[in-house]
Amino acid sequence: MMQTNDKKQLLHLVFGGELDDLTKVEFRNLKDLDIVGIFPDYATALSAWKAKAQQTVDNAHMRYFIVHMHKLLTPDEA
């Protein structure tokens, strides 16, 4: 699939889940992870992250994260 603009694709993954302990990034149940999606740039990922974080604000153990996939896919360019 080709991009329609000249902007470089910098993939970001947004996901979250309930933490066992608020001092660690260790999930209560890996089967319950919420994979929000993969986004073409940080700004779009941040917008999705904010929306999901806001939806779960009442659950203190729920956390969402942004993973910079482009840095994992091409570590020499990071």
Report the C-alpha gap between 36 and 20 in whole angstroms. Answer: 20
**pLDDT tens series, the chain, 78 aa:** 455 566 788 999 999 999 999 999 999 999 999 999 999 999 999 999 999 999 999 999 999 999 999 998 887 775
Q: Which of 51, 18, 58 is nearest to 36 (CA)?
A: 51
Strand pairing report for 34-39 and 12-18: antiparallel
